Amino acid sequence: MARPPQGVLSPSDDTAPDDTETVMLRISKLTDYATVILAHMAVRPECLHTAVEVSEATGIAQPTVTKLLKQLQKTQLVTSMRGTRGGYQLARPAISISAAEILDALEGPVAITECASHDSHCGIEQACRVGHSWQRINNAIRRALQDINLHELADATASRTPDIAGRIRAATLRVHGRGQGA
């Protein structure tokens, strides 16, 4: 069996990474590109954006932009208007589109382990002692993604990284019972 690219651990890979590999939770390149496209559209939400214009503005190849805009339309994050003056625009205000919705539209719901997915098929679930904890961690990640919206992702004038990191920390503390309401 071929090994996945460095930094990516295949769900079917039962081997542990060696010391030189970095394993992380990671969104796909297409999801990253879709977020860049949506952020571009969020800056001028009143405009219709063509695939050519989005491609030129973002540096993403036009066939990829076209493919992603169609997927985003199918999942109702953007709407389209046909014709010579047609194009795409956000289906609703950027502040009401969460990072979780973007991820769901392209990759499906977050599930960091098999038992965290909605239709789990884990063979050891009955005897597993850690599944519940992984589900709680998965829920914390989901809440953090729901708590960040496209408007914040698109805001290049403000440094949002500390704010986002703080939200993830707060969600993690809630999972471990050390945050508010615990």
Domain boundaries, the chain: 29-90, 95-175
| Beta-bridge partner residues of 49 | 88
pLDDT band (50, 70, 90) for residue 1: very low
Taking only the tens place, the pLDDT of each residue in 6-53 is: 444 444 445 555 555 555 578 899 999 999 999 999 999 999 999 999
Rounded CA separation 55/64 (Å): 9
Return the structure tokens found at 138.
Answer: 């998965």
For residue 4, pLDDT over 70 is answered with no
> What is the model's pLDDT at position 156?
64
- Please say whether the beta carbons of 170 and 140 come within 8 A: no
CATH number, domain 29-90, options 1.10.10.10, 1.20.20.10, 3.30.70.360, 3.40.50.300: 1.10.10.10
Residues 26/29/31/32 CA torsion (nearest 10 deg): 90
Closest of 46, 49, 43, 95 to residue 72, by C-alpha: 49
Distance, CA of 71 to CA of 55 (rounded, Å):
16
Whether the full predicted model's pTM is greater than 0.75, yes or no, is no
